[in-house]
Structure 1
Amino acid sequence: MVEYLEVGKIVNTQGIKGEVRVMSLTDAPEERYHKGAKLTVFLKDQEPIELTVASHRKHKNFDLLSFEGYPSINDVEVFRDSILMVPKTELSKVNEDEYYYYEIIGLSIYEENGEKLGEVKEILSPGANDVWVIQRQGKADALIPFISSVVKKIDLENQKAYVEIPEGLLDDEN
């Protein structure tokens, strides 16, 4: 069974020439959406359809894509609100100390003293560095910057990461 990862969501059509507006969920849109790239669209209650990208351009906060064999708005209307995915096997290798979001989301986060802080439920990308949203038991979510001075070790095999929380980072500390 092939495992897939989300790379975008088709949120609407764009114009009449078969373009769709995609809210990108990938950190490498140039790699995922280049002409000739293969994407799989998952529609509700239907078999997945493999699409070949015919064109890609940026417009505001969206990626606009067209697909080979789908030249008009009528052809792509059915794709609205569907998810674009790629097989996990097509992911490119990342450098050491780089990770895909799917590898980080769900990790248990421990402070250096061994106390469990919570689990990564989401990753935000506000600018210079990513921010992990840590869901904590009985407390508000914690926001932890993904920087080497805070995230000390990531152990994907055991689904754990170890962090050193600077004083004042967590607003519920006394």
Structure 2
Amino acid sequence: MFNNLQKIGKIVATHGLKGEVKFKLESNLILVKDIKNEQFFLESSSKNLDVFEVEKSYFLNKKHIIALENIKDIESAQKLINSLVYVKKESEIVEEEFSYIGFECFYQKNSYGKVIDEMFNGAHDLIKVEIDNKQIWVPCVEFYLEKIDIESKKIYVKQIEVLL
């Protein structure tokens, strides 16, 4: 059964008294469609799999709150805490978020380090490269980047001396 499912998150807490729960999406995923009326497959700690339809979905203070069919009180909702959430693989509600983390950096044809973090500073993306127990932020602009090979997960940097 799990062959046809994709893990997308976890139920982390209850919300209110009417059976709503807080849903945490996997960190590498983003929602691209509304999840209302989607089927969620919940795996409990005892490895039981239950199917629920999402009746309601909204955000409150950056927390994702969902209401599931047949869960109408806090006691029922508490039983779902820590359940892993799956959807059918053919479901198109999530996409994997692209990341440079793990890419290997090269400078003057030599391996220079790996990308361990990334961020957007309001002007452009930055990647944090770990080099010999030292970490530097490299702006993702033409001045510092020679080439990015997404297929082989390699980034070729230039002008790195300026940042050291």
**Bin for the TM-score computed over the shorter chain:** 0.5 to 0.7
- Cα distance, 1:162–1:58 mapped onto 2, change above 3 Å: same
Counterpart position of 1:114: 109
- Cα distance, 1:137–1:34 mapped onto 2, change above 3 Å: same
SS in 2 for 1:21: strand
Counterpart position of 1:51: 52
- Answer yes or no: is 1:66 the counterpart of 2:67: yes
Higher strand share: 2
- The CA distance in 1 between the partners of 2:150 and 2:54, in whole Å, is 36
- Answer yes or no: is 1:76 the counterpart of 2:71: no
Which of 150, 155, 160 is the equivalent residue of 1:155?
Answer: 150
* Contact map agreement 1:18 1:74 (CA 8 A) in 2: yes
Where relative contact order (Cα < 8 A, 6+ residues apart) is larger, the structure is 2
Counterpart position of 1:139: 133
- Cα distance, 1:37–1:21 mapped onto 2, change above 3 Å: same
TM-score by length of 2: 0.67
- Cα distance, 1:91–1:19 mapped onto 2, change above 3 Å: same
- Cα distance, 1:49–1:55 mapped onto 2, change above 3 Å: same
- Answer yes or no: is 1:27 the counterpart of 2:30: yes
User: CA offset at residue 45 of structure 1?
Assistant: 2.9
Counterpart position of 2:157: 164
Deviation string, structure 1 residues 4-59 (Cα, Å, up to 9, x no partner): 243x332210011110112334422x61x531122333322313333321001110
SS in 1 for 2:85: strand
Q: Identical aligned pairs, as a percentage?
A: 16
Larger Rg computed on CA atoms: 2
User: CA offset at residue 129 of structure 1?
Assistant: 6.3
- Cα distance, 1:92–1:57 mapped onto 2, change above 3 Å: closer
Q: Is there any run of 5+ residues in structure 1 with no aligned partner, and where? A: 95-99
* C-alpha RMSD of the superposition: 3.7
SS in 2 for 1:85: strand
* Contact map agreement 1:42 1:84 (CA 8 A) in 2: yes
Counterpart position of 1:14: 15
- The CA distance in 1 between the partners of 2:79 and 2:106, in whole Å, is 47
- The CA distance in 2 between the partners of 1:93 and 1:61, in whole Å, is 18
Deviation string, structure 1 residues 121-169 (Cα, Å, up to 9, x no partner): 56667767666555x4641455556x4644842433x4x1314366478
* Contact map agreement 1:21 1:63 (CA 8 A) in 2: yes
AA matched with 1:162: I
Counterpart position of 1:97: none
